[in-house]
Chains A and B, each alone.
Chain A
Amino acid sequence: MTNLMEIEHVSMIYGPLKALSDISLSIPKGQWLAIMGPSGSGKTTLMNIMGCLDTQSEGELTLDGMVLGKLGPEGLTAIRREAIGLIFQQFHLVGYLTALENVMVAQYYHSMVDESEALEALDRVGLAERADHLPSQLSGGEQQRVCIARALINHPKLILADEPTGNLDEANERMVMDILHKLHQAGSTIVVVTHAPEVAEHADRVIVLEHGRLISDTLTKGNGQGEGNAKAVGKAVDADKPEVEEDPSIQEAAPA
């Protein structure tokens, strides 16, 4: 049983503020992990560290056997390029490029552009028809789906989504969750930060942060690799009544 990511005693310190303190976490390949917690609890900070957009103050991170702390900025850039797919709450599409070109930008920085493959990715998120539209001509939900297509195009090992449905209505949220489900079924490892329990309940596993500490870690269902026992999501994500769950993936990480 392999873990895609190992997070060992990671802390993030901003001056007097400890945005993350001593987080240890293992994410098995193919797992869908939801990160919950109140605003300011460090969710985005953790996600940025996982996505190599930021470097932790303390602790160590391993992605697919690679120790990230040893890499310089250029090395981290390369990891982002090769292994990470990012989905943002604010979509962050390039305004002067069409949907198709926005997907191709990711190909361009990764290796080489392939228009038909980019079109296929848009088709997978149901936007083949709108390939030539500019972001301003797309709805929020459509923009988010372009953002997902862009995140997928290079077949990343890890898909990170920070509040991917935060700006979307229910119908679009459902559509985005469906796409994530398909990715999950196809074996992708997904980490989603969310405030919404109905988004978190799609995940295999939910962790809750509060004041930068991991206060709850719950397996909600089998993560497809036969470990852990499902717990009721509603209970686990309630940050007001933290209950730290012992999870096999945490125990795996601890002794190292």
Chain B
Amino acid sequence: MIGSRSNRGFLMRMLLSSLLRRRSRLLVALVGIAIGATVLLGLVALCHDIPKQLSQEFRSYGANMVFVRAGGVGRLSMGQLEAVRAALPRTGLVGLTPFRYESVRSHMVPYTAVGTSFEDVRKTSPYWKVEGGWPTDEEGILIGEDVAMATGLAPGSPMALDGRNSEQTRYDKEMRVAGVVSTGGVEDGFIFMGLKAMEDMTGEAGVLDLAEASLMGADEGGGLAAISGNVRKAAPGVDARIVTRVSQSEDRVLSKLTSLLYLVTFVVLSLTMICVATTMMTVVLERRREIGLKKALGAENSRVAREFLAEGLLLGVIGGLLGSILGLLFARLVSESVFGRPMAPGLHLIPITILASAIVAVVACLLPVSRAVDVEPAVVLKGE
């Protein structure tokens, strides 16, 4: 039918004219919807992305598997460490860090010295805060914050260490403090040096007390247990223990954070709804005379209402589109500045956001429109 089609064309022309020529008024509503959509999409995208980001972040939070001598007494050999390394899956292995503990003294005060691989410890314990710098040579050591406090040593200071090895042979060596480490844990009371430096100092090589591994993408349920089984088989005399503490709190924190984000999203959505409804109310009330005029020209209430809802729909779609683009940028910005990683572009969220803002805009129009179409044309057209 040509008639209805050209009438539909005219309706589109009216709606677009209303949107384009009444810019200033509708801009408010449009901006309201767009901001709502921005925040909505931004938050949903983050809700979606943050757990992923955080779990990456958490995975690198220390080790989730520890290797010690089976039975709990005695030390591991370097050969056993290599056997462990060979038994671990190549993919997902963030790092495997050896630790060897020795009792040392400095100016008669006893300390625990830890020999390790600084290169690996930075991978398995990314949360270590080091003031000064990481050691770069054999003499370089890290001292815990408490040690630094007790001794008054700072990066650059020399530190004399002495002790006895397992054969009761005396040794002493002057090291140099490269940095001060703080973790808030036992590490704050330790002195860290390279494993090689410790072997040189003590005159004993090839032993260590434990090793820690950080494995990504394996969970407590299946993955880690299987890995630990493999290690026990491949490296006799080694006990591979799963560290559960971090993983459990990780899950708890994640689920709390996610529900918090969804709560915020819900609140923002409600606020947006109220804001858009209020704006729509004003927009529609401002146009009571136009509604009265259309009714005077013979438009039925339902027809006028449908046109206003169509306008709200158009507004919602445009605002939703704008908001989607802004929202993705916003989420990306947050993701980059907080996690230092770009977020996967949630393009699939765009149609959902547009749909949501269209629904919000139409629902927000329903009440004001249904009231406004009841105006008596004679009454509104009389006023100056």
Contact among B6, B13, B21, B22 for A112, CB-based, below 8 A: B6
A134 at the interface (CB under 8 A from B): yes
- Given the complex, which residues of B lie within 8 Å of A96, measured CB to CB? 17-18, 20-22
A54 at the interface (CB under 8 A from B): yes
Give Cα A81–Cα B381 distance, bound, in whole angstroms: 17
- Given the complex, which residues of A lie within 8 Å of B378, measured CB to CB? 48, 53-54
| Chain-B contact segment, one of A84-92, A193-201, A222-230 | A84-92
Q: A92, B299: Cβ atoms under 8 Å?
A: no
CB within 8 Å of B: which A74-116 residues: 74, 77-78, 80-82, 84, 86, 88, 90, 92, 94-98, 101, 104-106, 108-114
Q: A110, B17: Cβ atoms under 8 Å?
A: no
Q: B384, A90: Cβ atoms under 8 Å?
A: yes
B89 at the interface (CB under 8 A from A): no
Known contacts A88-B381, A105-B14; decide if A94 and B300 are in contact (CB<8 Å). no
Q: A78, B382: Cβ atoms under 8 Å?
A: no
* Total interface residues in chain B, CB < 8 Å: 31
Q: A109, B294: Cβ atoms under 8 Å?
A: yes
Interface residues on A, range: 20 to 34
Q: B300, A101: Cβ atoms under 8 Å?
A: no
B7 at the interface (CB under 8 A from A): yes
CB within 8 Å of A: which B1-23 residues: 3-4, 6-7, 9-11, 13-14, 17-18, 20-22
Q: A92, B381: Cβ atoms under 8 Å?
A: yes
A62 at the interface (CB under 8 A from B): no
- Given the complex, which residues of B lie within 8 Å of A95, measured CB to CB? 21-22, 290
Q: B293, A92: Cβ atoms under 8 Å?
A: yes
Q: A111, B3: Cβ atoms under 8 Å?
A: yes
CB within 8 Å of A: which B240-266 residues: none
- Given the complex, which residues of B lie within 8 Å of A110, measured CB to CB? 297-298
Please, which residue of chain B has its CB at the minimum distance from the CB of A104? B10
Please, which residue of chain A has its CB at the minimum distance from the CB of B19? A96
Q: What 20 new A-B contacts, CB under 8 Å, besides A105-B297, A109-B297, A113-B7?
A: A53-B376, A53-B381, A54-B376, A77-B298, A81-B299, A90-B381, A92-B293, A92-B296, A96-B17, A96-B20, A96-B21, A97-B21, A101-B14, A106-B297, A108-B10, A109-B303, A111-B3, A113-B9, A113-B10, A150-B297
Please, could you name 8 A-B residue pairs with CB atoms under 8 Å apart, sorted by A?
Answer: A77-B298, A94-B290, A94-B293, A101-B14, A105-B297, A109-B294, A109-B303, A113-B6
Task: Give chain B's interface residues, CB within 8 Å of chain A.
Answer: 3-4, 6-7, 9-11, 13-14, 17-18, 20-22, 289-290, 293-300, 303, 376-378, 381-382, 384
